[in-house]
Amino acid sequence: MKQGDIIIYACVIIGAGIGLMFDRAFPGVLVGLGLGYLIKFSLYKEKGN
C-alpha cells in the first residue's frame, strides 16, 4: 500500500465519521474521498513539464 493511498483512506474515514454525526454518512464519504484525492494530488504531483 502506498503512502498516497493511506491519505485517501484516512480522509474517507474522517469524512464518514463527520457524516455520521449529521446522520449522512454517504455524502461525508464522498467529500472525504474528494478531499483525499486533492491532498494526494497536491502532495505528490510530478515535477517537470
Per-residue pLDDT tens digits for 2-28: 888 999 999 999 999 999 999 999 999
- Higher per-residue confidence, 4 vs 46: 4
Residue 48 has pLDDT above 60, yes or no: no
Considering only CA atoms, which of 22, 7, 42 is closest in space to residue 33?
7
Q: How many helices (H) and strands (E) does the chain have?
A: 2, 0
This model's pTM is above 0.95: no
Gap between the Cα atoms of 48 and 19, Å rounded:
38
Q: Would you kindly state where each structural domain of the chain is located, as residue ranges? A: 3-42
